[in-house]
Amino acid sequence: MIEDLKVKTILVSQPEPKSGSSPYHELGKSQKVNVDFRSFIHLEPVAASDVRQQKVSFYRSHSRDTY
């Protein structure tokens, strides 16, 4: 029964390439599968003042190592 399974769609977790000559498109055509592009990461800008209010430390001050 497992031998009868066939891949129908490949999910790529990045934006779709602007050019039509992408290796993903070539793979989709040659293997007769659908290539679906989805961005999983969404970044939103944050003002520097908001970061400072949260008192986030970007330094390694709590590390035992000294540089």
Every domain of the chain and the residues it spans: 2-42
Give the pLDDT confidence of 37-62 residue by residue, as tens digits.
988 888 889 898 888 888 766 676 55
Q: Identify the pLDDT of residue 39.
A: 83
Question: What is the share, in percent, of the chain residues with pLDDT greater than 90?
Answer: 22
Residue type (1 letter), 55: K
DSSP symbols for 3-62: GG----EEEESSPPPSSS--HHHHHHHHHT-EEEE----------HHHHHHTT---S-TT
Higher pLDDT, 19 or 17: 17
